[in-house]
Amino acid sequence: MWKLLKFCIIAAIILALAWWVAALPGSVTADAGAYRIITPAPVALLLLLAVVGLLIVFLRVLGGLRRAPGQFAGWRSGRRQHAGELALQRGLVAVAAGDAAGARSAAAKARTLLGETAFVQWLSAEAARLSGEGEQTRLAFEKLTQSKEMKFLGHQGLLQESLKGGRVDEAARQAEAAEAAYPGSAWTRGQRLALAVREQHYAAALRLTQEPHERAALAVAAAQMAETPKLALNFAKQAVKAEPASPVALAALARALHGMGKERAARKTLLHGWKIAPHRLLAAAWLAPDATPLERAQAAAQLSAAKPGHMESELLLGETALAAKLTGEARRHAGAALKAGNTDGRAEAILAALEGKPAPAIAPGWRCTACRAQAAEWACACPSCGKLGTLIPAHPDSALMTTENG
Ligand SMILES: [Zn+2]
């Protein structure tokens, strides 16, 4: 409705103007030398309007022609930018796919189109790394560390190269720089942790993780390497705090307490440990190394009383009885351990020794929760996969014994 009204109004105005122009009185006379042109005023006005319109069109075309080279250059640079970005995208995919040749050619193309941008430098570095060109990789990543936005990736690349070349000190420096470039990165923390463990700097490693099983393992390792008994006790306490039921941590605490001369506390810790998680590590800390075999058998009886009938209690009693030549006791406890489900060969070893037979092979006492590898000795990091705090007793709590504790 409104549109129709607008149309009518405009049409009316144009019509009125045309009328007015047509009705203009008089004429326009132009003299040029011997010629004289006389034209009515409405025609002269229309001619003037036509000349002005043509002039405007002419000026516009002229301006467009003058701007054309700039616009052409802009169009060309846009195309280059687009082609360069495509090359970068292809390079990124080639790096992810491990295609060294593809990454290298994409990097070269991107450099031609975009120049030495930080992204191009990163792609060149990754292409060099995939090609196994050590020195070129190092130089490219070093260049990247100059970029404000991408310096983290530069230090990350240099760290990995240093580790590959076995330059641990350099790797540690790069890890620090990576942390400064991008504080709080989980990747950097993991690298620093691995480096600290590799260098056996367990106290430093302890500050880099909050995982209880990792903390417990690192604190035990730190306690074992501590320079003073007081420091050892401090670390052992941290281990037990992280994993209160870990026999490794409890044994470490008992040893640290013993090192400080706190015998009562040490014995209390071991009795408590045996009650909640009987393990041969606790027995080893409990039995005085300089005691006679008979004294050790008596001490074993005291400890095993904390968990009567348990497989580990029976094994401890059997092994100490055997050493003390209490053959009947040894046989009885070995049989009880077998009944309780002992399958690692320790009970059979007692029986074999009693019968003068060769000892059977004892199964490794530890297994990794991450890679399932077995290990004969406990270690802070799994010897197979290197994960921290993943070694647990290979034969966890078995069924309780039916026989009485001796
Ligand atoms: Zn493992």
142-154 tens-digit pLDDT: 999 999 989 999 9
Least confident range of 38-42, 179-183, 224-228, 319-323: 38-42
Give me the residue spans of the domains in the chain.
Answer: 79-198, 213-393
| 216, 232 contact by CB (below 8 A) | no
Q: Answer whether residue 397 shows pLDDT above 60.
A: no
Task: Compute the distance from residue 157 Cα to the ligand 1 centre, in Å.
Answer: 26
Task: Compute the distance from residue 232 Cα to the ligand 1 centre, in Å.
Answer: 26
Task: Compute the distance from residue 370 Cα to the ligand 1 centre, in Å.
Answer: 5
Task: Compute the distance from residue 213 Cα to the ligand 1 centre, in Å.
Answer: 13
pLDDT of residue 402: 35
Angle at 10 between CA 6 and CA 11, to 5 degrees: 115
Task: Compute the distance from residue 381 Cα to the ligand 1 centre, in Å.
Answer: 8
Task: Compute the distance from residue 184 Cα to the ligand 1 centre, in Å.
Answer: 27
Structurally, at CATH architecture level, domain 79-198 sits in: Alpha Horseshoe (1.25)
Task: Compute the distance from residue 393 Cα to the ligand 1 centre, in Å.
Answer: 13
Q: What is the mean pLDDT of residues 9-31?
A: 79
At residue 396 the predicted structure's pLDDT band, cuts being 50, 70 and 90, is low
Task: Compute the distance from residue 387 Cα to the ligand 1 centre, in Å.
Answer: 6
Neighbours of 233 (CB within 10 A): 22
> What does pTM read for this prediction?
0.69
Proportion of the chain above pLDDT 90, given as a percent: 69
Q: How far apart are CA 60 and CA 188, in angstroms?
A: 61
Q: Answer whether residue 296 shows pLDDT above 80.
A: yes
Could you say which of 3.30.2170, 1.10.150, 1.25.40, 1.10.760 is the CATH number of the domain covering 213-393? 1.25.40
Domains 79-198 and 213-393 in one fold: yes
CA contacts within 13 A on the Cβ side of 111: 14
Q: Which residues of 120-147 are buried (b: 16+ CB within 10 A; e: fewer)?
A: bbbbbbbbbbbeebeeebbebbbbbbeb
Task: Compute the distance from residue 376 Cα to the ligand 1 centre, in Å.
Answer: 13
